[in-house]
Amino acid sequence: MTTTSARAREEQLAVVRLPEYTGADREEVRGGVPDPYQIEGLVMAWRPKREHFGIRREGRLVAHAGLVTVPVSVAGRRTEAVGLGGVIVAPGLRGQGLARAVVTAAMDHARGMGPDAGLLFCWPERMPVYEALGWRELEEHVRVEQPDGPVTMPMRTMWTPLREGAGWPPGPVHLLSLPF
């Protein structure tokens, strides 16, 4: 690869911290796909992310990942985790490393947020993307809060260490907030 093409590739994967993530941003990156996360049928309430990272090409948002710190109970012991969510790459641009770039940048930021671990929820067919980035599946299903009380999350839960030597403790997991 020439220096010019390496520089062009770097620019195409340049992740920026977004000051906000608006409804217009969501529409722009989803590219007209009506339910890109396949969650509308779940009829669940979701917690908004606080930190947002994206990739823009020619001014258009083409990839996004969001973070939020959440309270978690594991085997009855309260702790915190950094939740990763809202990960999306615009249709037609998948398979170019954009998800890897935006998730990696978000998780690099998450390491400075305090908690020892990151959590995410995803469908089984999307797990290989995260496994390739070092995420691991939690064996147990996770309980999450909803306006009418706790429910079992129908999606799978994955975690990743944010500190050297951090692990995920055994036992039932209850997200003490809305899912993210």
pTM recorded for the entire structure: 0.91
- What secondary structure does DSSP assign to 44-95, as a single string? ---PPPSEEEEEEETTEEEEEEEEEEEEEEETTEEEEEEEEEEEEE-TT-TT
Homologous superfamily, domain 3-175: Gcn5-related N-acetyltransferase (GNAT) (3.40.630.30)
Domain boundaries, the chain: 3-175
pLDDT digits over 91-102, tens only? 999 999 999 999
Amino acid identity of residue 159, one-letter, is W
pLDDT digits over 87-131, tens only? 999 999 999 999 999 999 999 999 999 999 999 999 999 999 999
Res 40: pLDDT: 87
Check pLDDT > 90 for residue 8: no
